[in-house]
Amino acid sequence: MNKNKYLLGVILIVLGLILLMGSLGIMNVSIGDLIGTWWPLIIVFYGVKHIIDDSKSSLMFGSIALLFGVLLQANELNMLPMGFGATFWPLLLILVGVLTILKKKSNMGNMFRNDRNESYTEDFIEVNAIFSGVERYAESRNFQGGNIVSVFSGVKLDLRDAVIQDDFKGIDIEVVFAGVEIIVPFNWQIVAKGTPIFGGYEDKTRMSQNDLESKRVVTINYNVVFGGLLIKN
């Protein structure tokens, strides 16, 4: 069974049981109470969805979303004596630190390094930026895609000289309290799929009539939490 369908089924079952117990008088809950008090569970389930995904970047994004949702829910239930902000920020730093340590050693050097105007010819780009600034310039003649994770960081990826073929895999982007800017060729038609949570996504790409003749469709899968993603050419 598809993981997303399985998770959606579990959510519907839980909501149905809660409403049923409210109707039977077992619990003092109504639809208004459910929405007004338990709405952070949407973020919790969203985080769980990404954690059970196969992507490593989804583990980082899902863990932070899960922490954010759980603490919001606890705050709604008056279970945080220190308040949401005083609890969230220390735990977020601890979580990011733990996830950073668990990363493969081969990626550790890229996380806290400030890369400036470096050129890369590899077909697949992977960027893990945490508390850092990263700039990459790609000029692959068979660009396959990329995986970008930016947490409390700024990432700029210049793909104007990259050439994609029919086996292009797409670009996955996870942004948490950060900003990512991607510059693409004029003949790339961007198809973006994602969900911004307290964040923003903006596509400023433009195509001329001449560019349409050599158009290449590029899929970008993104998640943005308290951050911004900008695509332009």
Task: Indicate whether 107 pLDDT > 80.
Answer: no
Q: Which pLDDT does position 5 carry in this prediction? A: 67
**For the chain, which residues make up each domain, given as ranges?**
3-105, 106-232
pLDDT, one tens digit per residue, over 148-164 is 988 888 999 999 999 88
SS (H, E, C) 70-115: HHHHHHHCCCCCCCHHHHHHHHHHHHHHHHHHHCCHHHHHHHCCCE
Q: Which pLDDT does position 54 carry in this prediction? A: 58
Residues 6+ apart with CB under 8 A from 22: 28, 29, 30
CA distance linking residue 89 with residue 197, whole number of Å: 17
Instruction: Report the 10 Å Cβ neighbour count for 156.
Output: 18
Q: Is the pTM of this model over 0.75?
A: no
Q: What is the mean pLDDT of residues 79-104?
A: 81
pLDDT, one tens digit per residue, over 132-150 is 888 998 888 889 899 898 8
Q: Which pLDDT does position 116 carry in this prediction? A: 46
CA distance linking residue 47 with residue 67, whole number of Å: 8
pLDDT level of residue 111 (50, 70, 90 thresholds): very low
